[in-house]
């Protein structure tokens, strides 16, 4: 954690590790046998987490991200749910869409994979329980009398608006 939030840092390979401890002004960790290799760091992760957390807590997320980026250390903010859903990139990628459900607007997640030849689309909200049950059964070859029996027995529900 930083002084005002959380960040994630990709400092586990040796090159990025050395860059990261330089940025954090924790150069003494370079010669510490507990943290010499990534395997050593993982074996002593609780101690390392405490050292890094103490140092990261001395400045804001923005400050650390700016410094880490300048040193070519991969890093980024950790966003809360609302922040992530409202992020400009989320909006630009149409990852949150508004559809109508029972005449009311409902937000839903868009398709995460987008391809130019087969553009995705979300045309409506998820069906409500039983909304398409009879149609699906008919498509799979059930006869009307069989569908009625399934409905009567309670094995299949019927959507009630």
What is the model's pLDDT at position 112?
A: 83
For the chain, the average pLDDT equals 92
Rounded Cα distance, 15 and 32, in Å: 16
- What number is the average pLDDT over the span 96-118? 86
The DSSP-derived string for 55-115 is HHTTS-HHHHHHHHHHTT--EEEPPPHHHHHHSHHHHHTT-EEEEEETTEEEEEE--S---
| pLDDT of 90 higher than 90 | yes
The confidence score (pLDDT) of residue 38 equals 94
Within 8 A by CB and 6+ apart from 159, the residues are: 127, 128, 129, 130, 131, 132, 133
Residue 47: its pLDDT value, please?
Answer: 98
What's the CA gap between 161 and 149, in Å, rounded? 21
Cα torsion 22, 23, 25, 31: sign: negative
Its pTM surpasses 0.85 = no
Q: What is the pLDDT of residues 32-77, one digit of tens each?
A: 999 999 999 999 999 999 999 999 999 999 999 999 999 999 999 9
Nearest to 91 by CA among 82, 78, 104, 99: 82
How confident is the model at residue 82, as a pLDDT? 93
pLDDT (tens digit, 9 = 90+) per residue, 127-157? Answer: 888 889 999 999 999 999 999 999 999 999 8
- For the chain, the structural domain boundaries read 7-77, 80-125, 127-161
């Amino acid at each position: 954690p930083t002084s005002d939030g959380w960040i994630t840092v990709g400092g586990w390979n040796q090159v990025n590790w050395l860059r990261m401890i330089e940025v954090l002004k924790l150069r003494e960790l370079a010669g510490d046998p507990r943290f010499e290799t990534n395997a050593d760091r993982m074996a002593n992760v609780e101690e390392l987490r405490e050292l890094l957390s103490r140092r990261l807590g001395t400045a804001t997320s923005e400050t650390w991200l700016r410094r880490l980026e300048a040193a070519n250390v991969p890093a980024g903010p950790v966003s809360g749910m609302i922040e992530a859903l409202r992020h400009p990139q989320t909006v630009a990628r149409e990852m949150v869409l508004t559809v109508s459900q029972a005449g009311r607007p409902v937000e839903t997640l868009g398709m995460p994979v987008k391809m130019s030849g087969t553009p995705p689309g979300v045309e409506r909200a998820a069906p409500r329980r039983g909304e398409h049950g009879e149609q699906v059964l008919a498509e799979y070859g059930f006869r009307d009398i069989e569908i009625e029996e399934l409905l009567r027995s309670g094995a299949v529900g019927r959507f009630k608006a």
